[in-house]
Amino acid sequence: MTTTSDRIEKQIVLRASPERVWRAIASAREFGSWFGVNLQDDFVPGATVRGAITIKGFENVAMTMLIERMEKERVFAFRWHPYAIEPNVDYSQEPTTLVEFRIEAVAEGTRLVVTESGFDQLPEGRRFKAFEMNSGGWTAQLANIERYVA
Amino acid sequence: MSRNLAATLRKGAPVFAALGDETRLRLIEKLSSGEALSIAQLTEGEPVTRQAITKHLEVLADAGLVKSSRRGRERIWELQPTRLADAHAYLDRISAQWDDSLERLRAFVED
């Protein structure tokens, strides 16, 4: 659910131990396995880890993660360029968003909260094809605005 | 990979910055009825000056969210809904991608 224009926050309760969830996130090999990316190196704070996406439709798109913080079974944070999938664009000079995974033990297993923030700083002047709304018309647009400002 | 998807996934960066302010969000709300409003109408009920409201409207205009025109001697402002919908749609896309990723994580750890 989007709460503001600058960040996205997701929560999920997993029927697995915090230790299991931590391993799935903090091990580059395991992370890559479920996320869908072939990462070349391990996750270490301060490291730049590169890989190629394996998700259908995005095969071989390059992905770069700048590892910020790793607190075992508590926080895993990294920076990246969200959906940096345009082949001829050099994203390396642009601001990154911050992705934080926070782990908490709960009765059912583990609560994982994922936050991605920093969208407000994404660069101006980028021109892409206008997003074509499937349902055009003022009514549909107003409904979007209403949801957004509510 | 769909070129259309690639082109539409990143959109409206300045829009997010323009929306990151309470007063500007209220201006958007006031304009969301679709009616064009004057500075006087938009300043009504706001604890800031007309000048401040004008500056906020200029930020919104720079981001393509509102546009102004002349009605007689007055300048009136109205919403340009497409850009706001684009910004919303962009975050929705990222949000949906996270939903998918987290379901893959769930399948991975809950065996």
The 10s digit of each residue's pLDDT in A89-122 is 777 777 888 999 999 999 999 999 999 988 877 7
Radius of gyration, alpha carbons of chain B:
19
User: How many angstroms separate the CA atoms of B77 and B12, rounded?
Assistant: 20
Could you give phi then psi for residue B60, rounded to 5 degrees? Answer: -65, -35
CA distance B12 to chain A (A): 8
β-strand partners of B78 = B67
Distances (CA, A) of A60 to B1, B6, B7, B94, B107: 10, 14, 17, 19, 23
CA distance B24 to chain A (A): 11
Q: Chain B window 1-60: which residues touch A at a Cβ cutoff of 8 Å?
A: 1-2, 4-11, 13-17, 19-20, 25, 28-29, 32, 34
Query: What's chain A's length in residues?
Result: 150
| Higher per-residue pLDDT: A124 or A48 | A48
Segment holding A140, helix H or strand E = helix A138-149
Closest CA to A12 of B95, B111, B102, B100: B102
ipTM of the complex: 0.76
A126 inside 8 A of chain B by CB: yes
pTM of the model: 0.62
Instruction: Write the residue in B8, B84, B91 that is nearest to A128 by C-beta.
Output: B8
A95 inside 8 A of chain B by CB: no
- The reported pLDDT for the residue numbered B110 is 95
| B23-37 exposure pattern, b = at least 16 Cβ within 10 A, e = fewer | ebbbbbebbbeeebb
User: How many angstroms separate the CA atoms of B42 and B83, rounded?
Assistant: 20
| Residues A139/A145/A148/A150 CA torsion (nearest 10 deg) | -90
Chain A with chain B: Cβ pairs closer than 8 A: 142
For residue B104, list chain A residues with Cβ-Cβ distance below 8 A: 34-36
For residue A120, list chain B residues with Cβ-Cβ distance below 8 A: 16-17, 20
